Amino acid sequence: MDDIVRQAIAKWPKVPHCFGWLGLDARGNWYMRDDRVQAAGPFPMSKGSLLRHEKLIDFIHRNYEADAQRRWFFQNGPQRVYVELEVAPLIWRLDAANVVTAHTGQLAQARRAVLDEKGRVYLDCDLGFGLVHTLDVAQVAEAIEQGLWVPEPMDSDALPQRFGYVRSPAARQQAASGAG
């Protein structure tokens, strides 16, 4: 987390959390979701505006983590912005040597592979759990054929509970508050 973010949290410790305004899709793209987009439906059915500003995306990446309740968020100064996940909290990329990198740019060590009923491949890594990017599926298939990883079959609906993440913090917050 950036020092300036830590300082803002210390200066304004009681800023309310924000839900539903930021989404992460299955390719590692960030989407800003205003009130109109949120009213149109849940993420990813209603995605919002694709973020393209590189410095903003880098700032999100440096300040992206999970809380004790397994909800992933972006700490935007004193405000915690919870992220709606299309599939998983991290999107993995592989290079030619099968080095795993998160969509945030962090290097990771894979511990196991998972294959869901839709044929999507996930990696459980030291940084967390995530989906292999669609552009790297052929490469991960080759790594599996070489015995680098042996994918464990698992139902996609079981993944959040099994690997400790919440796909929709906004829906969970709504349910907890009795709204909606």
> For residue 71, what is the domain's CATH number?
3.10.540
Are 72 and 126 within one domain?
A: no
Sheet holding 79-85, edge to edge: 49-50, 30-32, 18-24, 79-85, 72-76, 64-66
Q: What average pLDDT does the chain have?
A: 92
Rounded to an integer, the average pLDDT of 128-141 is: 95
Query: Of 140, 64, 68, which Cα lies nearest the Cα of 106?
Result: 64
Query: 12 pLDDT band (50/70/90 cuts)?
Result: low
> What global pTM score does this model have?
0.90
Q: Let me know whether 147 and 105 are in one domain.
A: yes
Residues 25, 80 share a domain:
yes
Do residues 32 and 22 touch, judged by C-beta distance below 8 A? yes
What residue numbers bound the domain in which 40 lies?
A: 3-87+165-177
pLDDT classification of 1: cutoffs 50, 70, 90 = low
Mean pLDDT of the 45-63 span:
96
Nearest to 88, CA basis, from 5, 16, 32, 27: 27
pLDDT for 179 equals 59
- Number of CB atoms found within 10 A of residue 13's CB: 8
pLDDT over 60 at 169, yes or no: yes
Q: Is there a single domain that holds both residue 77 and residue 12?
A: yes
- What residue type is 31 in one-letter code? Y
- 152 and 169 fall within a common domain: no
| Structural domains in the chain (count) | 2
Q: What is the pLDDT of residue 174?
A: 84
Which DSSP string corresponds to the chain? Answer: --HHHHHHHHHSTTPPPEEEEEEE-TTS-EEE--HHHHHH-STTTS--EEP--HHHHHHHHHTEEE-TTS-EEEEETTEEEEEEESS-SEEEEE-TT--EEETTS-EE-EEEEEE-TTS-EEEEETTEEEEEPGGGHHHHHHHHHTTS--PEE--GGGHHHHHT--S-HHHHHHHHHT--
